[in-house]
Amino acid sequence: MADVQKFKTAAETGLAERFSQARASLPGDAAARATAFARFTDSGLPHRRVEEWKYTDLRAAMREAAPLAGKLDDKAAAAAIAGATRFAEIDAVRIAIVNGHVAASASDLGALPAGVEITTLSQALAEGHPLLASLGAIPEAADNVAYALNAAFMTDGVVIRVAAGAKVEKPLHLRFVIDGEASATATRTLALVEEGASVTLIESHECADGVAHQPNDVLEIVARDDTKVEHLRIDAHGDAALALSTLTAYLGARVAFDTLNLVTGPALMRHQVYMTFAGDHTTGAVRGATMVTGRQHADTTLYVNHVAPHCESRELFKTVIDGDATGVFQGKIAVARTAQKTDGKMMSSAVLLSEGGTMNNKPELEIFADDVLCAHGATCGQLDDDLLFYLMARGIPRPEAEALLLESFLGETVEEAVGEENETMRETLMAPIRAWLSARG
C-alpha cells in the first residue's frame, strides 16, 4: 500500500483502495490488471497540465471514487431494466448490462441471429477465451488513463463475434443501465466482425438523475476486410454522472465504418475514439451530437490514425451549449507516410445559446504523407438572428423557432449516419434530441 501515499486526491486514494480490495475477485489475468493499474498509479488522475486533458480536469472533477457496483440478482436486474424505459422499444437483439454485469435474464442471448456468437466478458476472462486476443488492437489506447482504469476494473461486458460473411439485419442493442446508490462500473465489450460481415451495434446508457454514478465503458471494434459496421451510441446518463467512455475501431481493408455518439446526459462526459485505418480503401465516419446545459461538461477526443493508403475519414461534430455548460472537441488526425491518398475531413461546429457557455475546439492534423487531402474546420457561434426572424415572422414562437433550427443543426449528424430508408432508426435517434430541446422550453 506504499503507493497510496503519493496520491494527491481522495479520489485517487479511493481508486487505489478499491483496486486492492477488488483485485482478488476480478476475473481473468491478474497480472494484466496490475499492469493497467500501474499506468494509473504512475500519473494519478489526469489534470489540466496534461495536454490531452487540458480542457477536462478529471482530477478536479472527480471528488471521490465511488465503490464498484456489485452484481444484482436476476430479480433486481430485471426490475432495473424494466425501470429504464427510454430505449426499451428499439427493435433489436437486446443485451442488458446492469451495474456493469450482463443480465442474462433480461437479454436475448438465447435467440441470436445466425452468425452471431456472444460470450460474457466475465466468462471469457475466466476461461481465457481465444477471442480476447483481439482486445487491445490499438495499443496507443493502453496509455490512456481512462482506458487503463477500465482495464484494471472491468467486471463484465460482452464478447461478440460476427462470423465471416454474416449479414446481420437486426441491430444488436447493448442496454447499459445503472441502478441504486452512486457506484462505479467498468465494462468492456469486444466486437469482432469477420471478413465480409455486416452488423449494427447500438449502445444506450441510462441511469437516474441526481446520483453520482461513475461509469467507465470501453467498446473495442475490430472490423476485418470488406465489413460494414455501424455503431450508434446514446449517452443519456443522469445529470450527476461522471461518464468516461472509449471506443476503439481497428479497421481492415474496404471497410465501411460509422459511429455516432448522441450525448444529452451526464454532468461530465469524456468520450474518446481511437480509429485506426489499417487496410486500404476504407471509409470511417465519426460523428457526434452533444447537448449540454447547466454546469455540464462534455468532451469528445478523437485519435484518428491513417496507416493504410486510399482511405477516407469523415468527422462531424455538433455541439449545443446552454447555461454555464462546457463543450470540448479535440480531434487529431495523423497520416503516416504509408497512408498516401488519404482523404480526411473534420468539422466541429458549436452553437452557444447563453452567455455562460464555453466551447473549446482543438483540431489537429499531423501529416507525414505528401499526397493527401486533409481539411479541418471549427466554428462556434450563436443561432442566426435572420433565420430566427424569418421563422418567427411566420408565427412560430421563439423557443420553437430555436428548437427547429437546433434540431436541424444537430440532426445533420443523424441524417448522415442513418440512411434515408431507415426511418425508424432515425426517429429513435432524433427522439433524445427532441426531448432535450423541448425540455429547454
Whichever of 240 and 404 has its CB closer to another protein, that residue is 404
Nearer to another protein, 356 or 411 (CB): 411
DSSP type of residue 167: B
Q: Report the interface residues with another protein, using CB under 8 A.
A: 385-387, 389-398, 400-401, 404-405, 407-409, 411-412, 415
What whole-number distance in Å separates Cα of residue 271 and Cα of residue 287?
Answer: 12
CB 296 within 8 A of CB 324: no
Residue 433 C-alpha cell reads as 434530441
Helix, strand and coil content of the chain, in percent to the nearest 5, comes to 30, 35, 35
Rounded Cα–Cα distance for residues 264 and 237 (Å)? 8
- Of the pair 354, 408, the CB lying nearest another protein is at 408
Decide the pairing of beta strands 158-162 and 172-178: unpaired
365 versus 404: smaller Cβ distance to another protein: 404
Buried/exposed code over 354-366 (b: 16+ C-beta within 10 A; e: otherwise): eeebebbbbbebe
Residue 30 three-state SS: helix
**Residue 235 CB, nearest distance to another protein (Å)?**
23
Q: How far is the CB of 406 from another protein (least distance, A)?
A: 10
Q: Count the neighbouring beta carbons within 10 Å of the beta carbon of residue 96.
A: 23
For the bound state, the minimum distance from the C-beta of residue 273 to another protein, rounded and expressed in Å, comes to 25
- For another protein, which is the closer residue by CB, 131 or 387? 387
Q: Is 240 exposed, middle or buried (0-12, 13-18, 19+ CB in 10 A)?
A: middle
Phi, psi values for residue 35, rounded to 5°: -65, -45
Which one, 87 or 409, has the nearer CB to another protein?
A: 409
Whole-number minimum distance, CB 368 to another protein, in Å? 36
| Cβ-contact 273, 302 below 8 angstroms | yes
Measured between alpha carbons, how far is 244 from 70 in angstroms, rounded to an integer? Answer: 19
Q: Which is nearer to another protein, 179 or 402 (CB)?
A: 402
Pairing of the two strands 198-207 and 184-193: unpaired
- For another protein, the closer of residues 84 and 320 by Cβ is 320
What's the min distance (Å) between Cβ of 409 and another protein? 7
- Min CB(224)–another protein separation in Å: 36
Taking the complex as a whole, the smallest distance from the CB of residue 202 to another protein amounts, in Å, to 24
In the complex, the smallest distance separating the C-beta of residue 277 from another protein, rounded to whole angstroms, is 30
Cα–Cα distance, 83 to 324 (Å, whole number): 31
Instruction: Give Cα 166 to chain centroid, integer Å.
Output: 25
Nearer to another protein, 180 or 411 (CB): 411
Of the pair 110, 395, the CB lying nearest another protein is at: 395
User: In the complex with another protein, which residue's Cβ is closer, 131 or 396?
Assistant: 396
In whole angstroms, the minimum distance from the beta carbon of 394 to another protein comes to 4
d(CA 380, CA 143): 31
Give the strand pairing for 101-102 and 343-352.
Answer: unpaired
Is residue 70 within 8 Å of 99, Cβ to Cβ? Answer: yes
Number of C-beta neighbours around residue 255 at 10 A = 25
Q: How far is CA 352 from CA 26, 265, 383, in A?
A: 44, 18, 8
**Residue 22 CB, nearest distance to another protein (Å)?**
48
C-alpha cell at 140: 496507443
> Smallest gap, in angstroms, from Cβ of residue 388 to another protein?
9
